[in-house]
Amino acid sequence: MITTLAFVLVALTVALAVFGLVTTALGHPAGRAHTLVVGGIETLLVVQAVLAVLRVMGGVRPPETETFLIYLAVSVCVLPIGLQFARADETRWGGTVVAVTAIATGVAVLRLLALWGGASG
């Protein structure tokens, strides 16, 4: 796992959360803009997950490896599901749903960082 990429991802999820809340405040439902932003961040999350899995397969063992892998799965899965759920609703609250899933994803990446820090890898 690349520490820089992880920190960038945490910053991006925070930015996405703010974006979602702003669209709610402006009264816009979740739409194409949300899909594009989520798509970009999701691509980076997948890159991170692939890199991390490759390193774990290469022998790096973070403490609580099972927990690490679960957080890795969560970091990849939550945003697309949340986006789907948000876009299925035509009210302004779709953006807030995206924000909730963005925060959850950011927390998952922070937990990944903490666990990876103990990996001595």
Partner 1 sequence: MAENRGKNTSPERHDLSGTGRETGKGVGRVLVAVYAVFALSASARAGVQLLTKYHEAPLAYVLSAFAGVVYILATVGLAGRRAAYRALAWAAVLVELTGVLVVGTLSVAAPADFPESTVWSGYGAGYGWVPLVLPIFGLLWLRHTGSAAPTNSTRD
- Write out the residues near partner 1 by the rule CB under 8 A: 23, 26-29, 31-33, 64, 66-67, 70, 74, 78, 82, 85-86, 89-94, 96-97, 100-101, 104
| Residue number with CB closer to partner 1 (63 or 117) | 63
Query: Which candidate, 109, 112, 28, 21, places its Cα nearest to that of 64?
Result: 112
Helix-helix angle 65-87:94-117, to 10 degrees: 170
| Residue number with CB closer to partner 1 (47 or 90) | 90
Q: Which tokens sit at 40?
A: 């970009």
Shortest separation between residue 27's beta carbon and partner 1, angstroms: 5
Q: Which tokens sit at 112?
A: 């990944």
Shortest separation between residue 4's beta carbon and partner 1, angstroms: 26
| Residue number with CB closer to partner 1 (55 or 92) | 92
Asked if residues 6 and 113 have their Cβ atoms less than 8 Å apart, the reply is yes
